[in-house]
Structures are given as structure tokens and as C-alpha cells.
Amino acid sequence: MLGKWPIRVKVLIGLGLLLLVVGILFGSGLYSGYAYRNLVRTLRTRVGELPVAADLSRQVGELRMTLSQLRGLRASGYASTPRNDASQVLLCRDAFRDGLRGVEDTLALYRSRLEGKLREGSRMADNQAEWETVHQIEQALVRVRAADNEADWMLDLVKIGRLEDELSDLQELAADLPSHLHDTLQGLASEVRTQYRAMIIGTWIASIVAALVLALFVKLFYQWVFRPLGVLIDGSRRVAGGEFDYRIRLETDDEMAELAAAMNDMTARFRAIRDDLDHQVRERTRQVVRGEQLASVGFLAAGVAHEINNPLASIALCAESLESRVRDVLDENDEGHKVIGDYLRMIQDEAFRCKEITEKLLDFSRLGEVQRQRVELGELIQGVIDMIGHLGKYREKHIQFTAAEPVVANVNGQEIKQVVLNLLTNALDSFDREGTVRVVLAQRDRFAELTVADDGCGMTPDVLAHIFEPFFTRRRSGQGTGLGLSITYRIVAEHGGDVHATSAGKNRGSTFRVRLPLGETEKESQHRHQAA
């Protein structure tokens, strides 16, 4: 099912898988980095509370020292002391108040540190104990501030004693602040180890998932792209090596399969073209060989016909003269007279038959340009058909002639008549009484096409291979010179055309197809002369 998706969809799926791998690795690294950053930020924030807590504890201790000095002045008998002792008490009170304001400011700074934003869920962010201690310190400072606001509290040892107790509690609370942070830092080690293990496990899981997704991506791309591409390359190389029967087969139904089908169609068409070209080359070769044979036979025939034509005429005349003399010398009722007469007439008939063959040889060997003119081929063929129809041996045989339109060609009329006559007589001689010869004349692609088909005795492949060779004949009567179709072939070739013979086999009829160039029309001729 997945293999039938288009390449575009497959590429998008591959890109999606690749982006998923990158996202998993990026997310894992980003999470680890942010976790480390938040841990460092929280630790830095919490560690920054230690100096403030230490300052707070130190300032509370200074307040207690100031209050101790004040108690010492009061215990030494301040009421009967000189004026300078009174000024020292005032200085201690002012120092106490300044120290108290310093403690309040330091506590406010510590409070602001606690209010800093920390990552929730972390052990370092748990500062509830610090807040409770800060609230207790604030309450103690309120009591200390209230005692400080009382008039002449520095002269009353009882009030001084209460302040010392409050300051003692305050110092204990201030000393508890770093202890809470120390406890938190001690528990931070286990939290860090837990987070580290979680990060390591998460990183391994993300890496394994990314590796699996990447392996899936590679496998899919191999199945969808690389393997079909390798099959295409291997198939194209085999076809290029000459294996035109080889066909590329892909199980997919995407663009690769379309390309394979196109290559298969191209290979099939190329093979058909190659086979057709091979057939044309073989046919042209046979035509050239046949032409050379005809030319050689033509020269030979011209010499032979010229040399034996006169002796044949002399033989015929001598036989005729002897026949008349025998008639005068011997009695007509004499048996010898009859025998001699039969032999003399046989000599005359065979001599005239040989003379007819020599005349055909002369027709066959005729070379050179002949005068041509524009002839309407339909009328010419109809005239030949009418002439054959008056011959006694062809009167009971049928000829069907079809011409869809007038066809005019630049030909030698007498020679084309001889071509049509040879084809028609051969077709009529191929069957006995029942049979039909179908003659079709048409115009196709600047050629006049004449088709003569019969349903006679047909021809075997061996006969078709030699049908246009001189002196080759397979007439059922056993007669014939074997020059008719050779002369037909030569005439058609001299007109720039071609003639082909086909047959489905013995007793299945034959078809002769003649193509003659039409030549230029009168309008084309006028344009050519005007251009000249």
C-alpha cells in the first residue's frame, strides 16, 4: 500500500521522519541545557542569601554588644555619674537605634532575596522554613522597636533585661537562617543525582528513538527510491547492451513505475523499428541483387536474342518451304506425308515459340529513357480488362475493378499496360473456372497504388522469394517463359516505383501491390518553369 504512494508523498514522509529525528535530539539537548541552567540559577540565587543572613546575625550580635555596654553603664551607678556618663548613654542609645535600623534593612534585603523567582518543583525552591523564620524575626523586631520607643528605657534595668532576651531570641533566629539553607544544600546533592540520572536516561531514550526513526527513514528511502532506481539503471544497461527482450518490472505504482513502463514501451518501439529496418534492409538488398541479376540477364538476353533470332526465322521458313514441297511430291493419302507434315508443323510451331521468347527477351533487355506522359490509370486498366474479357479462355472468369477517384500519373502508357496485362493473366491463370480477380486503384501519399488480388492457387514462401527472378515460373499448365513478372518488375522500377507480392500460402490466393509515383502536377510544373 505504501509503495503505491507518489514520490512526492514519500519524500515528504522521509523529510518528516528526518525532522522528527532532529526534533528529538534538539528537544533532548534543549531540555538538558535548560534543566542545568535552572539548577545553576536557583543555586546562585539561594547561595546569595548566605552573606545577607551572616550580616543579619552579625548586626544582631552588635546590637547585643551595644545593649551590654548600656547595661554596664547602668550597673555602675549612672544616676550619680557625671555629665559625660550621660552622654555615653545617649551615644549607646543612638548606636542601638542605628544598629536596629541596619538589622531591619538587612532583613528587608533578605526578604527580597527570598521573593526571587525560583523554578517550582525543585528542592532548592522550597524556602518555607526561611519564611517562617523571617516572620518570627519580624515579630521580634516589632517588639524590640516597641521597647525602644518607650521613654528612658535605657535607664531601666528591667527593660534592658527584656531587650536582651528579645535580642538573644533574635540572634538565635538569625543564626537559624543559614542552617535552613545548609540543610537545603545537603539535600540538593540527592536531587542533582536524581536529575542527572533522569537526564542520562532521557538522553539515551531520545538517542535510541532517534536512531530507530533514522533507520526507518533509511529503510523506506531504500525501498522507495534507491532500490527502484537501481532496477531502472540495471534494466537500462541491459537494454543498452542489446537485450531488447528484457522488461523492467517494479512492484510500486508511483512515478518510478511510470518511468519503467515508459522505458519498456520505448524498448518495444525501438525493437519494432529495428526489426522493420532490418526487414527493409533485407528487402532493399534483395531488390538490389534482383536488379543486378536483371541487368546481367538483360545484357545476356539482348545478345542471345540478337544471335538466335535470325536462325530461328530461317528454320521456320525452311520448315514451311519443306512442308509445301512434301505436299507436292507425296500423295496426301500417303502415311509418310502425314508424319512428315506433322513434324514440319511442329518445327514451325516451336521455332515461332522460340522467336516469341526472343522477342520477350528483347523487351526485357530494353534500357534507356522512354517517353512518358500524364495518363489516367483507371481508363488504362479498364481498357486492359476489356481486352482480356474478349479472350476465349478468360471469358468465364471474373474481374472486379474498383477505383474510388481518378488517378493521373506520369508514366509510359504501353509499358504500364504490359504490367497490368502480366499481373491480370497471372492472376487469371492461378485458378480454373470459379474464381475472382479483384483490382483496386487508389491514390496514397503522392503514389498511385494498384492492387491485384486473386483467390487462386497461392504461393509458398520459396516461390515468393524468387517470383521476380528471370525464367522462374510455377504455372500449373507448365508453360510460360518466366519473364513476365521480371519484365513487370523492371518496368515498375524504371518508373521509380515498387512491386510486392504476398500470399497466405498454398491454395489461399495471392496479392500483387504496385506503387507508382504520380509525378508533378501541371500547376507544379508551371511553378517550376516560372521559377526557372
pLDDT at residue 452 greater than cutoff 90: yes
- Contact in structure between 423 and 513 (CB atoms under 8 Å): no
Q: Where are the domains of the chain?
A: 2-222, 254-367, 370-531
- Residue 412 is classified by DSSP as -
CA angle 266, 272, 275 (to 5 degrees): 140
Name the residue with cell 512442308: 323
CB-based contacts of 279, cutoff 8 Å, min separation 6 = none
**Overall residue count recorded for the chain in this entry:** 532
Question: What is the C-alpha to C-alpha distance for residues 187 and 181, in angstroms, rounded to an integer?
Answer: 10
Q: Which of 52-61, 284-293, 371-380, 440-449 has the lowest mean pLDDT?
A: 284-293
CATH architecture of the domain covering 370-531: 2-Layer Sandwich (3.30)
- Of 388, 391, 409, the C-alpha closest to 399 is 388
Question: What is the C-alpha to C-alpha distance for residues 446 and 518, in angstroms, rounded to an integer?
Answer: 6
Maximum mean pLDDT: which of 33-42, 115-124, 232-241, 463-472: 232-241
Q: What is the pLDDT of residues 17-69, one digit of tens each?
A: 777 877 777 777 777 777 767 766 766 766 777 788 888 888 888 888 887 87
- Contact in structure between 399 and 387 (CB atoms under 8 Å): no
Rg (C-alpha) for the chain, rounded Å, is: 64
Name the residue with cell 506425308: 337
Q: Is the pTM of this model over 0.75?
A: no
Question: What is the C-alpha to C-alpha distance for residues 168 and 172, in angstroms, rounded to an integer?
Answer: 6
How confident is the model over 241-245, as a mean pLDDT? Answer: 82
Give the sign of the dihedral formed by CA 38, CA 42, CA 45, CA 50: negative
